Structure 1
């Protein structure tokens, strides 16, 4: 396992996009639902932003949005063109790993930081941005996912973070439960379990050392989830982690069975472990930053940010 770790002070915080700013909308993974995307674009315009839809976000395909070269080219432009202050991944699915395979990080260089937003398959991209560029990112809802509109809790939470980041000081998880009690401080990391496991051994994998680690997933049978968690353990991914926030595990087995597995695979790490956070698939999720200093109180079900998430 690589020895790379995040600095204790966390990553570079991009400036929050302001009304009138242009923001890129790309597809790094699967083909977005175009009807949902139109609703999402209108929601972004309602925040005063000017979304520019890249070709990858309009591309069709069986399970990939266009070809790998198109997605890598759009991602590179979105990360480097100074016209954009944020990069929204339109949807997840599968394909981010293939996109990253073609990105020339030397050509990307050191552009002005901007916020990258997405979840699920986009976990791989958020890790890559943290490792290669040193930026924070947001594990949160995407424009082509059904329900990306004002009045829905996940959109409203993301909108608050983007428009008034200083007002978002903590995440509260009222339906959570401590699998292992206690509190810890660290840098927020993690994402979707399968993507974390699939990035192991690559140049964009970010180990959990010093981190408050988010774990969530969807559509994995319990034994398969066991397999991925065990792979992360054996690879040393959790070595030195400070705490763990377990989000949703939608269609991964009963709650009781999943929590039994989480306790079995995570409970002996000697760190606080919180289960039942409303982050991930299947719920109006709260947005979880990647790369921000935070304090986890597993007994109270609260994650407090020690720095503003965005500048």
Structure 2
């Protein structure tokens, strides 16, 4: 592996942005959540190798414990070992599902902090890791597609739009992400936080609860009825998790009925820019967003521009 580039900072309030990947870099695939389907994961690994990456798979990825990819201790060990391996430039989560919250207290944060920043990729249940990595390590991380999920590992090959944006995210600078509706007009530039709504609600009252002050909040979910979305937003609002938010970028709501009346009712009164319909979260295409880095909402173009960098700042 070539010498890594120097990490940069995302600007005021932002996290450390790890070096972008380069062809020939080693990435580790781990399963901190649900068990991946072996044929899917094999196709995903092949797709990553086709990008010029060298892929190693965690020793315990194919362990099983009910709806989990093995024991809590084993899943935590795979993640910790991958992150602390100096040969590994990036860690990709195989899939979501459930289980990331169970391992947060088992990770050796001191050792992982000493390993320095590197790329972390995942979405859905991996939201819990994004929040923990932000708090414990101060590192920005990619909310994006995963190698054992449909957009990368379908039998017909990766979904082309998703995979193109994913490659740009890992190796360079991804294009802005366009939505299809403006709920509250305006524009703002701020660090992006958030992820899957269900996980953010589940993290309320923990050390890794959402902190929105001065930040753009990304929200998305799947298979949640509007009343459940209402309940989770109400929890975030009541807990103070959304206090001081600078804006909202709303991603996909696959199989959620029509969530927009609820989203507008709960978020529009906050009086900050809100754009919606971004292809981020579940479904296809599935674009990548760097959580912790500066982003910009432009309601005129209904877009979120991510990965904006600025001068070094304390996290």
TM-score by length of 2: 0.90
The answer as to 2:201 corresponding to 1:197 is yes
Q: Distance between the aligned counterparts of 1:125 and 1:193, measured in 2? A: 14
1:67-110, Cα deviation, whole Å (9 max, x unpaired)? 00001111111222111100000000000000113223234333
Distance 1:172 1:109 in 2: 31
Q: How many residue pairs were aligned?
A: 297
Superposed CA offset, 1:204-250 (max 9, x none): 22311111111000111211111111000001111111110011111
Question: Distance in 2 between the 1:20 and 1:296 partners?
Answer: 34
* Residue 240 of structure 1, aligned match among 238, 241, 244: 244
Q: CA 1:11/1:48 → structure 2, altered by over 3 Å: closer, same or farther?
A: same
Please tell me whether residue 98 in structure 1 is matched to residue 102 in structure 2: yes
Q: Distance in 1 between matches of 2:307 and 2:162?
A: 22
CA distance in 2 between partners of 1:209 and 1:9 (Å):
10
Match in the other structure for 2:262: 261
Which ranges of structure 1 fall in alignment gaps of 5 or more residues? 1-5
Pairing 1:172–2:177 present: yes
Decide whether the 8 Å contact of 2:187 with 2:273 is kept in 1.
yes
Q: Is the 1:31–1:59 Cα contact (8 Å) retained in structure 2?
A: yes
Counterpart for residue 59 of structure 2: 55
Q: Which residue of 1 aligns with 2:282?
A: 281
1:292 aligns with 2:293: yes
Q: Which residue of 1 aligns with 2:43?
A: 39
Aligned CA RMSD, in angstroms, stands at 1.7
Task: Give the aligned partner of residue 163 of structure 1.
Answer: 171
CA displacement at 1:294 relative to structure 2: 1.7
Aligned ranges 1:109-120 → 2 under 5 Å: 109-120=113-124
1:71-150 aligned at under 5 Å gives the runs 71-148=75-152, 149-150=157-158
Shift of 1:56: 3.2
Residue 20 of structure 1: which of 12, 19, 24 is its match? 24
- Cα shift at 1:13: 1.1
Contact 1:215 1:247 (C-alpha < 8 Å) held by counterparts = yes
Q: Which runs of 4+ in 1 moved over 4 A?
A: none
Give the match for residue 3 of structure 1: none
Determine if contact 1:188/1:294 at 8 Å carries over to the other structure. Answer: yes
Gap regions ≥5 residues in structure 2: 1-9, 311-315
Q: 1:72 to 1:151 in 2, by over 3 A?
A: closer
Counterpart of 1:303 in structure 2 is 304
Normalising by structure 1, we get a TM-score of: 0.91
